[in-house]
Structure 1
Amino acid sequence: MSSREIAVRPGGTLRMFANELATQFRRGRTLAMLGALALIPILLGVAIRIAGSSSPGRGPAFLDQITGNGLFVALAALTVAIPLFLPLTVSVAAGDAIAGEAASGTLRYLLLVPSGRARLLAVKYAWAVVFCLTAAVLVVVVGTIVGWILFPVGPVTLLTGTEVSVVEGVGRVLLIAGYAALSLCGLAAIGLFFSTVTSVPIGAMAATAILAVAAQIVGAIPQLEALHPVLFTDRWLDFGDLLRAPIVWDGFAQNALLQGAYIVVFVGAALWRFARKDILT
């Protein structure tokens, strides 16, 4: 079935999305990035197992609690991955979305279908969102497995001092993975926009990754505090409310609004830019 037939038949967009997922998850680069992310909790768990726990207050959050409860491997690994490793892989996935097709010469064929540009952008952004979720969940799932193998696992003591069961603790960890994935959706929208600006994938990837690092640097400068609330990175590590009893959803909601604003602005900008892009150049 041709791409034109797929798009015009009912459910064509879903078929395009399914094809996109199948293609992307078979790519060696995608598998390599996911494999590298999976190594983070493995290396972290093995290092703590060999060297022992660090002193309280030293190193990433939750690091000093790993030897007492293996579930904290997942949280410590996610804390390590969020500032650099997750943004880097998301930058690659989103930055390559359109620019990669243009560089390989397949973009013009994908746009033979009716309403091709808006449909293609929607499918590409949906793939980037799926990658955000997959990457974050992979880190915590591998971290949970590693923690279960290398350390004792038991009830989890929350930040409020309340103790919850292992099952609920695992549920909280997965919820935090969802929070991390949501936090990266704004960056994915930025990467999609950069991908429509250039036909050189590495340029879009680099611009997205550099912007993520720059935003975090600005967020760490007290003199620029007035800018912090509008940075898409501002709430990346604010998942502590999900470790309280009861859960406080205010931070989650505020992060969703912040990322939603970036999604609207940059996906809209990508659509505007892509609609005017000369595909033949």
Structure 2
Amino acid sequence: MSQADLAGEGTRPESQSVASSGARAVKGHRRPSGLLRSELLTTFRRSRTIALLGVLAVIPVLVGIAVKIETADGGSAGGGGGGGPAFISQITNNGLFLVFTSLAATLPFFLPMTVGVVAGDSVAGEANAGTLRYLLVAPAGRTRLLLVKYAGTMVFCLAATLVVAVFALATGAVLFPLGEVTLLSGTSVPLSEGLLRALAIAVAVAVSLTGLAALGLFVSTLTDSGIAAMAATVGLLLMVQIVDTIPQLHAVQPYLFPHYWLSFADLLRDPVYWDELVRNFGLQALYTAVFGSAAWARFTGRDITA
């Protein structure tokens, strides 16, 4: 079917606006870089995406203000222990720990929820809007389009994580002192090394979300409803998170994609503890391979009629 044939179907509900946007999409998608650039522009220009990133940006600011108010009379914030949310007890001594606290606070739900929304809408949203087959008119092919959709979601994973980290660092620098970083192993390192470790942790958190992104992409190929795909992805996320907290199911928990998410704390040890980090990365790679292959099998054999 030619571009002219597609553009001529003006009686469809999506009408001229969809045809026009589809034609522009086809024109700009001759090269892989153009297809990815268009996908990123579309994703980050959506008001929904901006709102999600805005919520992520506000969380570390609220955490920092709450800690500042709580410790205004000389008291201490949170508890000790050195893992996960216990980073909060170190914030008053070094604002850099607000980065680690904010990532630990958002990782169980807020960060993965935003990724689930973007991944779930990646293919189903295009089908619902009537633009999916316009994208396939370009000499991109279904495989390349699916890879671009996943790559766009991965970029969003990194962007969302960096938004939390950057706003946490800025808030921590304004409200608390910055200086040498005392690692969980008791070793002190310069602030510059602490910042590098914070960047490494942000990247590790982003990588931790790639398995969920692949799952969301697969769900997105199963339906033409973006809302249904987003709801299903977030629902699966919540279900898996609940299963991961039930002691009686400890035998299956090491195989659940969120199980090792907080292993990023091991990057704050000297030497770094790599065991759980490697397990986490390997598990995300496994989920990416399995659900990425399932998404490819579904999408390449799908009858695109919308």
Which 10-residue stretch deviates more, 34-43 or 243-252?
A: 243-252
| Structure 2: gaps of 5 or more residues | 1-22
What CA deviation, in whole Å up to 9, does each residue of 1:67-109 have, x standing for no partner?
Answer: 1111111111111100010011001110000000001000111
Query: 2 CA distance for matches of 1:153 and 1:95?
Result: 39
What CA deviation, in whole Å up to 9, does each residue of 1:143-177 have, x standing for no partner?
Answer: 01100000011111111110001111111111111
Counterpart selection for 2:142 from 100, 117, 122: 117
Contact 1:61 1:79 in 2 (8 A): no
Counterpart amino acid of 2:63? L
Structure 2 length normalisation: TM-score? 0.87
Contact 2:78 2:86 in 1 (8 A): no
Q: Which residue of 2 aligns with 1:77?
A: 102
Counterpart amino acid of 2:55? A
Query: 2 CA distance for matches of 1:264 and 1:188?
Result: 11
| Structure 1: gaps of 5 or more residues | none
Q: Which residue of 1 aligns with 2:50?
A: 31
Cα deviation, residue 57, structure 1: 4.0
Query: 2 CA distance for matches of 1:191 and 1:43?
Result: 29
Contact 2:28 2:38 in 1 (8 A): no
Cα deviation, residue 32, structure 1: 0.9
Of all paired residues, the percent bearing the same amino acid is: 51
Aligned length: 278
**Is residue 2:72 matched to residue 1:15?**
no
**Is residue 2:62 matched to residue 1:43?**
yes
Counterpart selection for 1:67 from 81, 92, 105: 92
Query: 1 CA distance for matches of 2:45 and 2:117?
Result: 15
SS at match of 1:152: coil
Cα deviation, residue 49, structure 1: 1.0
Query: 2 CA distance for matches of 1:27 and 1:2?
Result: 17
Q: Counterparts of 1:176-255 in structure 2 under 5 Å?
A: 176-255=201-280
Contact 1:111 1:117 in 2 (8 A): yes
Task: Say which one has the larger Rg.
Answer: 2
Query: 2 CA distance for matches of 1:3 and 1:56?
Result: 52
Cα deviation, residue 219, structure 1: 1.1
Counterpart amino acid of 1:56? G
Counterpart amino acid of 1:32? A
Q: Runs of at least 4 residues of structure 1 off by over 3 A? A: 1-8
Residues 1:55 and 1:276: Cα distance change in structure 2 (over 3 Å): closer
Structure 1 length normalisation: TM-score? 0.94
Contact 2:120 2:226 in 1 (8 A): yes
Which 10-residue stretch deviates more, 249-258 or 69-78?
A: 249-258
Contact 1:157 1:163 in 2 (8 A): yes
Contact 2:79 2:86 in 1 (8 A): no
* CA RMSD between the two structures: 1.7
Query: 2 CA distance for matches of 1:230 and 1:23?
Result: 34
Cα deviation, residue 239, structure 1: 1.4
What CA deviation, in whole Å up to 9, does each residue of 1:251-278 have, x standing for no partner?
Answer: 3222111100100111110111111212
Residues 1:178 and 1:16: Cα distance change in structure 2 (over 3 Å): same
Query: 1 CA distance for matches of 2:290 and 2:202?
Result: 25
